[in-house]
Structure 1
Amino acid sequence: MANVLEVKDVYKHLGKREIIKGISFSVKEGEIFGFLGPNGAGKTTTIRMLVGLIAPNKGTISIMGHEIGKEREKALSSVGAVVENPELYTYLSGRENLMQIARIRKIPKGEVDKVVELVKLSDRINDKVKKYSLGMKQRLGLAAALLADPRLLILDEPTNGLDPTGIMEFREIVKHASKERNTAVFISSHILSEVQQLCDTVAFINDGKIQSVESITGGQIKNETETLVLVTREAKNCSEVLKQLDYVYEVSAEENVFTINAKEDSSPEIAATLVEKGIAIKEMYKKHSELEQRYMELVEGGKK
């Protein structure tokens, strides 16, 4: 499956403050990718870069092989987004809102009917938007984002303010849209349960850094990476060796205790390399955890 979105080594600072600190990830077609982290972790800044509102200071963002910095129009023509509260004309009906967009973008009228059905608004589409509940407005915003049949759908905290029924409906519609149209979906959230039940893959972000990217199957994390804890007396040498290994993605250390995020089942190679370099391992073990524990480990544990 082809990558629809590729983010490579992206940095962003606002003034002197570094907000995003070298993030990299990719989203494939038909994949629902969760971007999970607490408020202030850098999620909104990342989304603003993905939709071309602000530019990274370093690194590249490509959509369907087109880099936003160099081929902005081509890259963004493949994107549909629901960012915060969708901009809707409340004095018009739902259908009139969608028809306005269809006219501007030269989208056939038949597409409007298709997306209305997809987001389950057929029975209320001719009512004025001011009569809509928050959940219906979110679904109309989603319909607007899906009108041009985007290859990448970007959703920023899409269920904020929705009641449990609204959340469930929205989740099912997004799943259906992704699978039926083979659309890549990037969804930013701070709600664990939402990501767990909706996404195929989750990236944990905290303090502008991606702590880990992991797969979810049946609501459970399926690790393509593993977290190892390593204790050694030779911290400096150990750190230098670990950072040179391709299959080690992230290393953090507190005195002589290292937490290593590495490729799944790479612990034997890591141990062998360290021994070969003359670094004595006092203790080494693998951490096992589910999404909530991973979140606490990676995000809460990452707070200083």
Structure 2
Amino acid sequence: MNKVLEVKNVKKKLGKREIIKGLTFDVNEGEIFGFLGPNGAGKTTTIRMLVDLIHPDSGEIKILGHDVKKDKVKALENVGAVVENPELYKYLSGRENLMQIARVRKIPKAEVQEIIELVGLKDRINDKVKKYSLGMKQRLGLGASLLGNPKLIILDEPTNGLDPSGIMDFREIVRKAAKERGVAVFISSHILSEVQQICDRVAFINNGVIQSVESMDEDFTTETDTLVISTVNDEETLNILNTIDIVKDSFVAEGKITVQIAAGVTPQLVKVLVEKNVEINEVYKKHEKLEQRYMELVEGGAR
């Protein structure tokens, strides 16, 4: 698998304080890589170095083999980025915003239209951005970052401020970009639930140090799967779940249904629920072991 982003022994001081203490990791083509840690762990400083807003004191950052410091133009021409609030011209329409970027980067109109459809904005793309919801602005920002078919997308806390529907939509767009376009995606976040639902691998960072890099598929498998299900009628769904043999336990927590089943039977459970006319808004696997690892690695095992 081709390495798109390579970070080797990167260190950075701000003043006399060492913020980043020798980071080493890589992100592959088509991979969604999570950068998980508490606020103040060094995530934003790392992102600023990845896009050459600040320089590392030592170490290397390469994008498709091009050193960001020594060959900035070649390295960054392969990068798109979305931070918490994408910079957009509110007095222009969504299409006009994308066309401004396309003209500068000499991107054909056909590609702009393709991006509009990918991010699900074709019905509102001619509206002024000032009329957009936060979720729509995030979609447009992601669309702008995808123009020119970059090989690396950097997302800094991308779901901040989004409602559950907006988060689901944003997640699906990112997945499509990674799997259909082969884009490497780097997601910085402090939200466990987001990382566990979208990432292929996760780096745990705290105090400027990567504690571990782990695969979501290999290192978080158990004999029992824990699912979180959101439905139109949770109470009715809970009663139905209690009659299904493959369900070991089910209860409501934090406004959603948590279900424990044997590992690997999730498709079977979803099929049964659909057959019983349960209207499902969302279903995902909860990686409880991820929470345990986060506590062990980032918070020393204590809350």
* TM-score between both structures, scaled by the size of structure 2: 0.76
Structure 1 segments (4+ residues) deviating >4 Å: none
Deviation of residue 303 (structure 1)?
8.8
**2-side partners of 1:59 and 1:109: how far apart?**
40
The 1:6–1:302 alpha-carbon spacing in structure 2 relative to 1, beyond 3 Å, is farther
Deviation of residue 148 (structure 1)?
1.1
Question: Deviation digits for residues 151-197 of structure 1, max 9, x if unmatched?
Answer: 00000000000011111110011001110100000000000010000
Deviation of residue 84 (structure 1)?
2.2
What secondary structure is seen at the aligned counterpart in 2 of 1:221?
A: coil
Deviation of residue 302 (structure 1)?
7.7
Partner of 1:293: 292
Partner of 2:147: 147
Matched, 1:51 2:81: no
Question: Deviation digits for residues 215-257 of structure 1, max 9, x if unmatched?
Answer: 0129x7269xxxxxxxxxxxxxxxxxxxxxxxxxxxxxxxxxx
Gaps of 5+ in 1: 224-288
Contact 2:34 2:195 in 1 (8 A): yes
**2-side partners of 1:299 and 1:179: how far apart?**
30
Gaps of 5+ in 2: 223-287
**2-side partners of 1:158 and 1:134: how far apart?**
11
**2-side partners of 1:9 and 1:98: how far apart?**
37
Contact 2:5 2:64 in 1 (8 A): yes
Question: 1:15 corresponds to which letter in structure 2?
Answer: G
**2-side partners of 1:166 and 1:67: how far apart?**
35
**2-side partners of 1:291 and 1:65: how far apart?**
32
Matched, 1:23 2:26: no
Partner of 1:244: none
Partner of 2:78: 78
What secondary structure is seen at the aligned counterpart in 2 of 1:127?
A: coil
The 1:28–1:104 alpha-carbon spacing in structure 2 relative to 1, beyond 3 Å, is same
Question: Deviation digits for residues 95-153 of structure 1, max 9, x if unmatched?
Answer: 00000000000000111000000000000000000000000000000000001110000
Partner of 1:186: 186
Partner of 1:251: none
The 1:302–1:45 alpha-carbon spacing in structure 2 relative to 1, beyond 3 Å, is farther
**2-side partners of 1:177 and 1:79: how far apart?**
13
**1-side partners of 2:70 and 2:142: how far apart?**
28
**1-side partners of 2:68 and 2:85: how far apart?**
24
Matches within 5 A, 1:1-304: 1-217=1-217, 221=220, 290-301=289-300
Partner of 1:268: none
What secondary structure is seen at the aligned counterpart in 1 of 2:220?
A: strand
**1-side partners of 2:221 and 2:204: how far apart?**
14
**1-side partners of 2:32 and 2:221: how far apart?**
15
* TM-score between both structures, scaled by the size of structure 1: 0.76
Question: 2:131 corresponds to which letter in structure 1?
Answer: K
What secondary structure is seen at the aligned counterpart in 2 of 1:121?
A: coil
Contact 1:153 1:185 in 2 (8 A): yes
Question: 1:292 corresponds to which letter in structure 2?
Answer: E
Contact 2:36 2:202 in 1 (8 A): yes
The 1:222–1:15 alpha-carbon spacing in structure 2 relative to 1, beyond 3 Å, is farther
Contact 2:41 2:207 in 1 (8 A): yes
